[in-house]
Amino acid sequence: MEFCDDCGSMLKTEGDKWVCGSCGFEKLRDEAAEAAMVTTEGQEEGEIIDISDAEDKGLPTTTAACPECDNDRAYWYMQQIRAADESETRFFVCTECEHKWREDDH
Q: Tell me whether residue 4 is annotated as binding.
A: yes
Q: Tell me whether residue 24 is annotated as binding.
A: no
Q: Tell me whether residue 66 is annotated as binding.
A: yes
Q: Tell me whether residue 80 is annotated as binding.
A: no
Query: Is 39 in a helix, a strand, or coil?
Result: coil
Q: Tell me whether residue 23 is annotated as binding.
A: yes
Q: Tell me whether residue 45 is annotated as binding.
A: no
Q: Tell me whether residue 92 is annotated as binding.
A: no
User: In sequence order, what E strands does 1-106 have?
Assistant: 11-14, 17-20, 26-28, 61-63, 73-79, 89-94, 100-103
Q: Tell me whether residue 97 is annotated as binding.
A: yes
Q: If 0-12 CB within 10 Å is exposed, 13-18 middle and 19+ buried, where does residue 19 land? A: middle
Query: What are the binding residues?
Result: 4, 7, 20, 23, 66, 69, 94, 97
- Return binding residues for Zn(2+): 4, 7, 20, 23, 66, 69, 94, 97
